[in-house]
Amino acid sequence: MADTILVQHDGDIATVVLNRPEKLNALTKPMWERLGDAFLALSADDAVRCVLIRGAGEKAFAPGNDIAEFDRERANVEQARAYGKVMTRTIEAIGHCRHPVVAQIHGVCVGGGLEIAGLADIRICGASSRFGVPINRLGLVMAYSEIGALIALAGEATALEILLEGRVFDAAEAKDKGLVTRVVPDDQVAAEAQATARRIADGAPLVARWHKQFARRLRDARPLTAEELDEGFACYGTEDFRIGREAFLAKAKPEFKGREGVRRAKGFGTADERR
């Protein structure tokens, strides 16, 4: 089953491939588990600066879970609960990945496929792509972890519209609903996704991680602590800030160091250094 989830590295960009093209990349329980493993490993890898996720081929990102395995893996409440734990772990692994995640979407992206793509920070699809969550036709519901991610992406009203109607809709409507970031001609999806990943990877990796962390934290209604507010200035204590500033003044491309360039892991200098 390891071959159904591929992880490929091109320098500081990692690509995760849902690799089951003969089934349009329909997801199985082992694929969900392996996908979670892959994202946990990539998130811990400081050499990675961006993760690209896509389905194999150009017909589909993923059409959701493989219904053919339900008789042996999701035939009753107990099995469904075990399956759900695997899915929740993977959803959390993708959603909490420290590095920026870009979804490269070709063709069909529905059900569990939409759930996975929706966890990416930037989602790029082709004009002919199709989206939706038609699970009401199967008598199934989205569990809390799944519906929470959809609501965070599109809002409660839109999430309920998608789930209650169960329609499959086009890329233009998906963009209007906030499900995708960018729609490009079908033959330009791969190039646009790769270019996007490259722009991200060329930026300061610490800054990208902080931006993701801050955005996630702001979903929480709790007041920010003084320590959390201070972290918004921690970048001034990093080697990457010096590199970026000097490169900007010299009109040169910065070569950021990432983890290696952090001067202080837990703080960002004395009061004098912060001035």
Per-residue pLDDT reduced to its tens digit, 42-58: 999 999 999 999 999 99
CB 17 within 8 A of CB 201: no
Homologous superfamily in CATH for domain 204-267: Lyase 2-enoyl-coa Hydratase, Chain  A, domain 2 (1.10.12.10)
Position 119 confidence tier, pLDDT thresholds 50, 70, 90: very high
Fold of 2-200: 2-enoyl-CoA Hydratase; Chain A, domain 1 (3.90.226)
Ranges for all domains in the chain classified under CATH 3.90.226.10: 2-200
The strand order across the sheet containing 60-62 reads 60-62, 108-110, 130-132, 168-170
Return the closest-CA partner of residue 39 out of 83, 92, 85.
92
With a cut of 90, say whether residue 39 has pLDDT above it: yes
Of the pLDDT bands very low, low, confident and very high (cuts 50, 70, 90), residue 258 is confident
How far, in Å, are 73, 210, 260 from residue 254 at the CA level? 50, 19, 15
Q: Tens of pLDDT along 170-203?
A: 999 999 999 999 999 999 999 999 999 999 999 9
What residue ranges of the chain are covered by domains with CATH 1.10.12.10? 204-267
Mean pLDDT of 85-89: 96
- Distance CA(136)–CA(163), nearest Å, equals 7
Could you tell me the pLDDT band of residue 268, with boundaries at 50, 70 and 90?
A: very low
In this predicted structure, the answer to whether residue 275 has a pLDDT above a threshold of 70 is no
pLDDT reported for residue 65: 94
Asked if the model's pLDDT at residue 8 lies above 80, the reply is yes
Q: Using alpha carbons, select from 196, 114, 208, 121 the residue that is nearest to residue 159.
A: 114
